[in-house]
Amino acid sequence: MTLRPMTVVYFDCPSGAAGDMIMGALVDAGVPLDALRAELRKLPLEGWDLAAREVQRGAFRATKVDVEVDAAAHRHHRGLADIVRILEASGLAPEVTARATRIFTRLADAEARAHGTTREAVHFHDVGAVDAIIDVTGGVIALALLGAEAVHVSALPLGGGFVDGPHGRIPVPGPGTVELLRGFPVVDTGVRAELVTPTGAAILTTLAASAGRMPAMTVTAVGYGAGTRDLPGTPNVLRCLVGETAAEPAGEETVLQVETTIDDMSPQLYEPLLDRLCEAGALDVFLTPVVMKRSRPGVVLTALCPPPAREAVTRALFEESTTIGVRWSEWRRARLARELVTLATAYGAIPFKVSRLGGRVVTVTPEFADIARIAREKSLPVREVLDQARADGRRLFAGG
């Protein structure tokens, strides 16, 4: 079987990551600034500009990208729904809009979980919201301009100390950043500063196909993105390596089937265990009843995950269940191309999973958690909301 070459990007983050550093590294690696700016101008958002300059960070030459915001044009806070509306009205490529929406949704969910609220109640504060919109969308656009088909990321340094923010003085890394880094490899380099921003964490952890060591690749370009501050004893740069690697046939991938058999655990513990496995990177988790030796009833717990998530999934099984042994095997699977998009329905904006076969839309499925939430809020039967949302989704994608 001959494998086609695939363009990949590896982000090496010795000094952390922020949205402007990601854009800077990609521009330094060859993304034309004018093309990036032109795509960003499709956003219905005024009062900002993008500038790039060459700077020195320690012994490294790097590109510093700055989002210059007119504070007078942005005096109000924005929530997730506001940002999704901006993205959907932009005219950007659907895959760019979908990825940026997914990043902002994870960012809002992380902040909501950290502060004990809902994603709808999370607000991105005035000027900071514009920075974040440009950083996130710009990073996604820059990867698309490079033709990147997969993103890989090194372990991220946590940093330390304290920082002042909208919620007062908080420890570094901030609570939202920590939530985003669940299941992601991190290191402590001893630097007492904020090294990974919430925006940087949201972009990289959402888009990463793997985390840790760089995959085997033929490097074709290298870029350095500069951070704002000079760090003591550490050049504040993020490095990206662009290259080619052999890809699996389109629509096919390798997954691990991680399993364990349990016969001595309270049924009440399975719900938090399954939640933890999904947070660790499992693609699917299911339970199968079995009869074990001495005719004892038991359960085979199976988790499907990408190979890089095996360690986190295994750790979750050992920590959250009574098992003392875990096994895994490698499987090949075919999957439809899919994306998460937010669509306007009779009940408001709802995330949908859209899958395609040969470019043709074959399924448009609303996220059930959002369906259940809307049904509760409106005191409607879940089935009624689900049927209406499905009909709206099919209508919007008719002929797609």
Q: What is the pLDDT of residue 334?
A: 87
Nearest to residue 189, comparing CAs of 134, 235, 129? Answer: 235
**Residue range(s) of every CATH 3.30.70.1380 domain in the chain:** 252-334
Question: Residue 126 has what pLDDT?
Answer: 43
Longest CA pairwise span in the chain (Å): 74
Strand ordering across the sheet containing 297-305: 284-291, 297-305, 252-262, 327-334
The answer, as to whether pTM is greater than 0.85, is no
**Homologous superfamily of the 339-396 domain (CATH):** mk0293 like domain (3.10.20.300)
**Average pLDDT by consecutive 10-residue portion of the chain (400 residues)?**
72 96 98 97 93 94 94 75 92 90 91 87 70 95 93 92 77 90 88 93 89 89 95 92 77 88 94 90 94 93 89 90 94 83 85 83 90 93 94 76
Distance from C-alpha of 314 to C-alpha of 319, rounded to nearest angstrom? 9
DSSP tag of 72: G
Instruction: Give pLDDT, residue 247.
Output: 59
Q: What is the CATH number of domain 252-334?
A: 3.30.70.1380
pLDDT for residue 177: 92
Q: What was the pLDDT predicted at 290?
A: 96
Query: C-alpha 285: how far from its chain's center?
Result: 20
pLDDT for 74 equals 66
What does residue 86 show for φ and ψ, rounded to 5 degrees? -60, -45
